[in-house]
Amino acid sequence: MERDEDRGQDAAQASYWRANTRLIAWLMLVWVAVTFVPPLFARDISLTVFGAPFSLWVAAQGAPIVYVLIAWYYERRMDRLDRERRGGTDA
């Protein structure tokens, strides 16, 4: 019987780490997109945002805001996964 419980725990842990790895991969994809894609096209866009060129605004304001949001989302999602793994208890 212990082996069945161990297998169940191993499967739950594998599922947890699969979800964690998938989340990290998606957030890294967002990070790469925010970091490298806008600067590639920013010079082609003759747009002024709050009196500054768009490329400067993206680099100075947009990207750091998205980085903070990525960290915030990761924390929230992992907290939810941790609670699900513990069975919904707060301890």
Q: Read off the pLDDT of residues 58-80 as tens digits, 9 standing for 90 and up.
A: 777 888 999 999 999 999 999 99
Q: What is the pLDDT of residues 12-63, one digit of tens each?
A: 788 889 999 999 999 999 999 998 887 777 777 777 878 878 777 777 788 8
What sign for the dihedral angle of Cα 7, 9, 12, 16? Answer: negative
Is 64:58 a contact under the CB 8 Å cutoff? Answer: no
With contact defined as beta carbons under 8 Å apart, do 26 and 70 qualify? no
Closest C-alpha among 77, 55, 74, 56 to residue 66: 74
Question: Residue 77 and residue 67: Cα distance in Å, rounded?
Answer: 15
